A and B are shown apart, each in its own frame.
Chain A
Amino acid sequence: MKPFNKAITIATAVMISGAVSSSIVAANPARNAIIKNFATEAGTPLSTERGKALFESKTGGGKPETKSCTACHSASPLKTGQTRAGKLIEPMAVSKSPQRFTDLKKVSKWFRRNCKTVLGRECTPQEKGDFLTFMSSK
């Protein structure tokens, strides 16, 4: 192997391993397990599009002040939101907030609270799984 070719081979290998390791960082095992569990409970493949629709849905059914997720989380998962009390909320998108959805207790608590507040009911495993799939894609 010529020195030039060798250099290219090494550079390519470095690039590939870099890409692989960064995708491993993005796909957190704890988050994957949480999503997989919702998928199993739902019994159907999860959908990014349905997750997006749920996030943007303004049909409400819960409290009048919070007709949609976007009322507090802002219209874009990439942007900072704000609670009704004025406190800022870190973006929902995993690309912006890598620690999101990695703690099952936290995930369960916030789905329980916010589905009641926004929709007036609990969310189904499919809705939860779709939502997390959407946020992980962002």
Chain B
Amino acid sequence: MLHIQKLSFLILAVLLIATSVANADERYKPIKDKIVLEECGACHMAFQPGMLPKRSWEKIMNGLPDHFGEDASLEVATKDHIAAYLKDRAADNGLWGGKFMRGIKKNMTPLRITETPHWLREHKGEVRSSAWTSPKVKSKANCLACHKQANRGFYDDD
């Protein structure tokens, strides 16, 4: 009995350490779907679905004819395929929710990753405001301008 108690304590400790280490990384599962990569990646990098909650992806995918000021409409079948992919891998998909869920209240449906509390916290004080308007960066949506491996889900290079 004592063994089992000791063993479960050990397992718990290992799990706790593993989770905290994993949380220290800014790594996200890369997108593997060809259609998602091609369609979402046509005008901007295809952002990893783990950066927004399900309800956000749903709202974005239902509003493509006016996508941040541009018509990004798709055929219904393509739209549905992409929406399902994003929602299945959204930030609130797991049991505990990803880092990007922190600070997002239940009544909030952020549409821009760059307006989520987690994104703001990670970039606060680290990036000069002039960097955002540099012609090479142009937009906060241009992750790849600074995170050279962003499309592979690596954001640790800061």
Using CB atoms and an 8 Å cutoff, list the residues of chain A in contact with chain B.
63-66, 82-87, 109, 112-114, 116-117
A-B contact pairs, 14 of them (CB 8 A): A63-B69, A64-B69, A65-B70, A66-B69, A85-B138, A86-B44, A86-B137, A86-B138, A86-B139, A87-B44, A87-B142, A112-B71, A113-B70, A116-B65
Asked if B70 and A84 sit within 8 Å, CB to CB, the answer is yes
Asked if A86 and B145 sit within 8 Å, CB to CB, the answer is yes
Complex alpha-carbon distance, A58 and B96, angstroms: 50
Interface status of B73 (Cβ within 8 A of chain A): yes
- In the complex, chain A residues whose CB is within 8 Å of the CB of B138: 82, 84-86
Interface status of B37 (Cβ within 8 A of chain A): no
Chain B nearest CB, measured from A37 CB (Å): 20
Chain B nearest CB, measured from A133 CB (Å): 24
Chain B nearest CB, measured from A98 CB (Å): 19
Q: How many A-B residue pairs have CB under 8 A?
A: 48
B: number of interface residues (CB 8 Å): 18
Chain A nearest CB, measured from B14 CB (Å): 42
- In the complex, chain B residues whose CB is within 8 Å of the CB of A66: 69-70
Report whether over half of chain B's contact residues are helix, strand or loop; otherwise say mixed.
loop
Chain B nearest CB, measured from A8 CB (Å): 51
With A85-B142, A109-B74 known, 20 other A-B pairs at CB within 8 A are: A63-B70, A64-B69, A83-B43, A84-B43, A84-B69, A84-B138, A85-B44, A85-B138, A85-B141, A86-B44, A86-B139, A86-B141, A86-B142, A86-B145, A87-B44, A87-B45, A87-B142, A112-B73, A113-B72, A117-B69
